[in-house]
Amino acid sequence: MPQVSVIMGSDSDLPVMSQCLNALERFQLSYEVLISSAHRLPEETAEIARNAAARGIEVIIAGAGGAAHLAGVIAALTPLPVIAVPLSVSPLGGLDALYAMVQMPRGIPVATVAVDGAFNAGILAAQIIGVKDPLVRERIIAYKKELANQVKEKNERLQKLGYKKYIAGAEK
């Protein structure tokens, strides 16, 4: 049974949204991937949103570009947390989608990540699920330690080489 439902408005969104799936896999979360449209399939999208909790879904991630109503429509119809991923598919580079997602009316919150920030959406879903699942929480803690260690290693290399050699990629 999937824990996370990842929904996108078009198959053209899949290359960016696959980053979200990579994050969910990293934290060993089960998921489903759907293509639905708030504009072209409004009734089907509404059914997905209304039935998600009953199907055992814990978090919904919705990716869309342009007018980007998908996450908001879903959030209006489900009690579950919804994470929006604004996609840079429009001539406005995703700014229109970002505004549509972060400017939700009072009472219909949608958590929104950066434009094309699908990986972070997967991490946020894991953090939400980790509130009640200690194994997922431990995976998040380990991931954050990995990130910290990467920064420490980069700093050690910078200190050893100096900034000019670091930038040049020298190993001496």
- Burial bucket for residue 112 (CB in 10 Å: 0-12, 13-18, 19+): buried
More confident residue, 163 or 169: 163
- pLDDT band, very low/low/confident/very high, at 71 (cuts 50, 70, 90): very high
Q: Which amino acid is at 25?
A: E
Number of domains in the chain: 2
Same domain, 30 and 46: yes
Same domain, 76 and 150: no
- pLDDT band, very low/low/confident/very high, at 169 (cuts 50, 70, 90): confident
Same domain, 21 and 95: yes
- Segment 66-78 shows an average pLDDT of 94
Asked if pLDDT for residue 172 goes beyond 60, the answer is no
The distance from CA 22 to its chain's CA centroid, rounded to whole angstroms, is 10
Same domain, 103 and 40: yes
Q: Do the beta carbons of residue 83 and residue 125 sit within 8 Å?
A: yes
- pLDDT band, very low/low/confident/very high, at 168 (cuts 50, 70, 90): very high
Same domain, 152 and 142: yes
Same domain, 139 and 59: no
Same domain, 140 and 171: yes
How far apart CA 134 and CA 83 sit, in angstroms, is 21
Other Cβ atoms less than 10 A from the Cβ of 89: the count is 21
* pLDDT per position as a tens digit, 90-135: 889 999 999 999 999 999 999 999 999 999 999 999 999 999 999 9
pLDDT of residue 171: 58
Rg of the chain's alpha carbons, rounded to an integer? 18
Q: Structural domain of residue 82, as residue ranges?
A: 4-132
Asked if pLDDT for residue 8 goes beyond 60, the answer is yes
* Cβ-Cβ contacts under 8 Å for 5 (sequence gap 6 or more): 31, 32, 34, 48, 52, 57, 59, 60, 61
Same domain, 98 and 32: yes
